[in-house]
Amino acid sequence: MVLLILAKRSNTIVRLWKPPSLWILPCYSRSYSKKLVSYGKRLNEIKLPPKADRSQNILDSTATTQARATKVAKVAQFSDLPVDPQLTSAIENYLLSDLQYAKPSPIQIQMAKETPILLRDKSKHTNAVVLASETGSGKTLAYLIPLIQFLKFTTNSDSDLNISSRKASYRAIILTPVPSLVGQLHDVISGLNIPSLTVAGMSNFVRTNKIKQISRDILCTNPQKFNALMENNPEAFKSVQIVVCDEADTVSFKDAYKTSIQTIRNLSEHLKYMFFCSATIPTSMERHIQQAYPKANRIVSPDLHKLPSRVNFSIIKCSQEFYKNSKIRALIHTIASIKFSNSEHDQVKRILIFANHGSTVSKIVDELKAKGFDTFAVDGSSTTHEEIEHVLESFKNPIGTDVNDAVKIMVSTDILARGIDLKRIKHVILYDVPFSSMELLHRVGRTGRMSIRGNAYLIVDRSDENKPAVKRIRKAAIHHRALI
């Protein structure tokens, strides 16, 4: 249905009309009359998944056939979980203090219920746990729940593991694929504000020397630095009790990292837990887990590999007359629709755009800047880690921007697609069809995180339209089916 509202100013229309998932097309001159036609067509592209399909468990057809995917009964608050009261209080009073009622997410509930069983295990063998659930479902806290409790309860009991030593030694290692995630993770753990817990976030070599001398409970790092540290100082890893591979499908299954993880397994007599945490489980990862950790415990969400249910997914066809098969035209028009929509009341609207290549990122940035949009870019190839952090910070905190109809745009390659939590991003635009379903899930997953609703738009030109991948994505979005 297309509703035509007439008002003196286009802004009045969009402000009056609240539903965030609808497209608002302001037509304030005759030259815009053509847009109404394409707008009507485009509305047909926006389809919400039917509710009946949401309970379907489609893991059977995927690589994760062994997954234990269960629906979880809701729990009203963290203190109702079998979790150490100091930790629940840290979660509620520090980490999630900006929420009026912090409810644990399903994956956190499952992990919390599994924790006492894991902690009770006194055998010498290493427990492997695969933790897999959709993007933005709170996996970080889910694996921190057993990790912190284990560290807390073993702190002073084992003199070998005393962390007061000046010589570097670590008890838990958390590996994430990119440096920006190391910083994010460090902030989450420090944000818990647990006095006895020491954490080091090492994402660049400058910090290496400092970190070499001081022992820590937790070391967060990325695989390249981890390998360098291992080579320089293998002694420091002798006391490792827990290894977490966050974004496990990228971190743990590349050959270089497999070797390092194997080295830790050989080095540390105390290695008790290995967590593999991911929003996607590719066949190669599944195969590796089956071989290396045949008894792995699997905690898997029934919604794994589906587009997040909180994301309104649309496909925008450039073949429509108005766009003249130009992706840039379709992109600018989409941004204009977001700009005049009422999706974020009294807030700057932040839009994340993904492209497949650095050269496309540069082209998009030039076009958007020429149109006067406030645009940032991170493409990984030419930018240092510090520069990326700086750009992300400016994008997250849009200080000094006039809020009325203001948009801030970040254009990136896959470097921002995994794990990055840009807090309350509501719009993700995929300028290119991603190379794989995994990439699509991670890119789209930057919005619709936790309970926040979001919109994702995939721009396809004539050459993309008939690609099997696009047809598959369309079906998965309509029927809320798993993509992999």
Task: Closer to ligand ATP by CB, 62 or 105: give it.
Answer: 105
Q: Give the β-pairing of 427-430 and 454-460.
A: parallel
What's the min distance (Å) between Cβ of 78 and ligand ATP? 7
**463-477: b (≥16 Cβ within 10 Å) or e:** ebeeeebbeebbebb
Of 22, 328, 450, 470, the one binding ligand ATP (CB under 6 A) is 450
What's the min distance (Å) between Cβ of 134 and ligand ATP? 7
Strands of the sheet containing 127-132, edge to edge, are: 199-202, 216-221, 170-175, 242-246, 273-278, 127-132, 297-300
Rounded to an integer, what distance in angstroms lies between the CA atom of residue 259 and that of residue 241?
18
Task: Closer to ligand ATP by CB, 161 or 484: give it.
Answer: 484
What's the min distance (Å) between Cβ of 276 and ligand ATP? 13
Task: Closer to ligand ATP by CB, 15 or 103: give it.
Answer: 103
Of 140, 239, 343, 437, the one binding ligand ATP (CB under 6 A) is 140
CB 274 within 8 A of CB 293: yes
Q: Which amino acid is at 119?
A: L
What's the min distance (Å) between Cβ of 249 and ligand ATP? 11
Q: Does 104 bind ligand ATP (CB under 6 A)?
A: yes
Binding mask 410-449 for ligand ATP (x = CB under 6 A): ---------x-x-x---------------------x---x
Q: What part of residues 247-306 is at the interface with ligand ATP (CB under 6 A)?
A: 279
Rounded to an integer, what distance in angstroms lies between the CA atom of residue 135 and that of residue 112?
19
What's the min distance (Å) between Cβ of 92 and ligand ATP? 10
Q: Which stretch binds ligand ATP (CB under 6 A): 51-59, 80-88, 102-110, 467-475?
A: 102-110
Of 7, 37, 99, 117, the one binding ligand ATP (CB under 6 A) is 99
CB 135 within 8 A of CB 445: yes
Of 139, 333, 426, 480, the one binding ligand ATP (CB under 6 A) is 139
Of 13, 129, 141, 391, the one binding ligand ATP (CB under 6 A) is 141
CB 370 within 8 A of CB 409: no
User: Residues in contact with ligand ATP, total (CB under 6 A)?
Assistant: 21
Q: Does 96 bind ligand ATP (CB under 6 A)?
A: yes
Q: Does 398 bind ligand ATP (CB under 6 A)?
A: no
Of 88, 110, 115, 137, the one binding ligand ATP (CB under 6 A) is 137
Q: Does 136 bind ligand ATP (CB under 6 A)?
A: yes
Rounded to an integer, what distance in angstroms lies between the CA atom of residue 24 and that of residue 196?
52
Residue 233 has a CB neighbour count (10 Å cut-off) of 15
What's the min distance (Å) between Cβ of 471 and ligand ATP? 26
Of 27, 36, 43, 102, the one binding ligand ATP (CB under 6 A) is 102
Q: Give the β-pairing of 407-412 and 374-378.
A: parallel
Residues paired with 457 in a beta bridge: 314, 429
Residues 6+ away with beta carbon under 8 Å from 354: 411, 412, 413, 414, 416, 417, 428, 429, 430, 431, 432, 434, 443
What's the min distance (Å) between Cβ of 216 and ligand ATP? 21
Task: Closer to ligand ATP by CB, 138 or 380: give it.
Answer: 138
What's the min distance (Å) between Cβ of 295 and ligand ATP? 25
Q: Does 105 bind ligand ATP (CB under 6 A)?
A: yes
Residues near ligand ATP (CB under 6 A):
96, 99, 102-105, 108, 135-141, 279, 419, 421, 423, 445, 449-450
